[in-house]
Chain A
Amino acid sequence: MILRKVINRRRWMKGAGSLAASFGVIGARARAKDAPLRFALTPVLLTSDLVMLEALKAYLAHAMGRPVHLVSRRTYQEITALLVTRQVDAAWICGYPFVVYRKELALVAVPVWRGQPLYQSYLIGRADQKADTLADLAGTVHAFSDPDSNSGYLVTCAALAEMGQSPGRFFRHFFYTYGHRNVVRAVATGLATGGSVDGYVYDVLREAEPALSADTRVILKSELLGFPPIACPAPEAQSPTIIHLREALIAMPSDRRGREVLAMLRLDGFSNESPELFDGIADKMNLVRGVPL
Chain B
Amino acid sequence: MMLRRLPLTARVPLIVTLFMVAVSVFTSERVLTRLADTQERHVQALADAYVDGLALALVDSIIREDIWQVFDVLDRSRDKSGDIRPTETIVAGPDDFVIASSKPLDIPSQMKVPARYIASLRENGRIVIAEDEQKAYLHRVVRYENLRIGSIYASLDIAPLLAERRSVLWTLVLTNALLTLALAGAAWFIMGRMMRPITLLTGHLERSHAGAVASIPDEIVAKVPRDHRQAFAAYNRLAAAVADREALSARLAEEERLASLGRLASGMAHEINNPLGGLFNAIDTLKRHGADRNTRNVTLDLVERGLKGIRDVVRVALVTYRAERDQRHLSRSDIDDLKCLVAPEAGRLGVLLQWRIELTNTVSIPATVVRQILLNLALNACQATPRGHCVTISVTETLVSIVIRVEDRGPGMPASAIAMLIDGGDRPAPIGQGTGLGLWMTNRLVTELGGNITVSGGSEGGTAISVTLPQRREKEFAHVA
Contact = CB atoms under 8 A, between A and B. Distances in A.
Contacts of A178: 68
Nearest to A144: B68
Contacts of B246: none
A239 interface: no
Give the size range of A's interface with the partner: 10 to 19
B380 to A, nearest CB: 119
Contacts of A116: none
Interface string A170-196: 001101111000100110011110000
A64 interface: no
Contacts of A172: 110
A141 B109 contact: yes
Interface in B294-340: none
Nearest to A190: B105
Nearest to A176: B68
A186 B110 contact: no
B68 A141 contact: no
Contacts of B100: 191
A177 B100 CA distance: 13
Nearest to B101: A191
A60 interface: no
Nearest to A141: B109
A286 B129 CA distance: 58
Nearest to A178: B68
Interface string A188-215: 0111100000000000000000000000
B66 interface: yes
Contacts of A56: none
A177 B68 contact: yes
Contact of B104 (A176, A177, A182, A191): A191
A95 B232 CA distance: 116
Which secondary structure dominates where chain A touches chain B? mixed
Nearest to B100: A191
A143 interface: yes
A47 B108 CA distance: 27
Interface residues of B, number: 13
A2 B115 CA distance: 76
Contact of A182 (B68, B103, B108, B110): B68
A277 to B, nearest CB: 31
A185 B102 CA distance: 12
A172 B105 CA distance: 16
B278 to A, nearest CB: 147
A181 to B, nearest CB: 11
Contacts of A189: 71, 75, 104-105
A190 B108 contact: yes
A182 B73 CA distance: 12
A211 to B, nearest CB: 14
A191 B110 contact: no
Given A175-B66, A191-B104, A186 B71 contact: yes
B272 interface: no
Contacts of B71: 186, 189, 191
Interface string B432-474: 0000000000000000000000000000000000000000000
Contacts of A192: 104
Interface in B99-140: 100, 103-105, 108-110
Interface in A99-141: 141
Contacts of B105: 189-190
Contacts of B110: 141, 172-173
Contacts of A191: 67-68, 71, 100, 104, 109
A190 B109 CA distance: 10
A172 B108 CA distance: 12
B72 interface: yes
A192 B105 CA distance: 9
A186 B68 contact: yes
A143 to B, nearest CB: 7
Interface of B: 66-68, 71-72, 75, 100, 103-105, 108-110
Given A141-B110, A190-B105, A192-B104, 4 more contacts: A175-B67, A186-B68, A190-B104, A191-B71
22 contacts: A141-B67, A141-B108, A141-B109, A141-B110, A172-B110, A173-B67, A173-B109, A176-B68, A177-B72, A178-B68, A182-B68, A185-B75, A189-B71, A189-B75, A190-B103, A190-B108, A191-B67, A191-B71, A191-B100, A191-B104, A191-B109, A192-B104
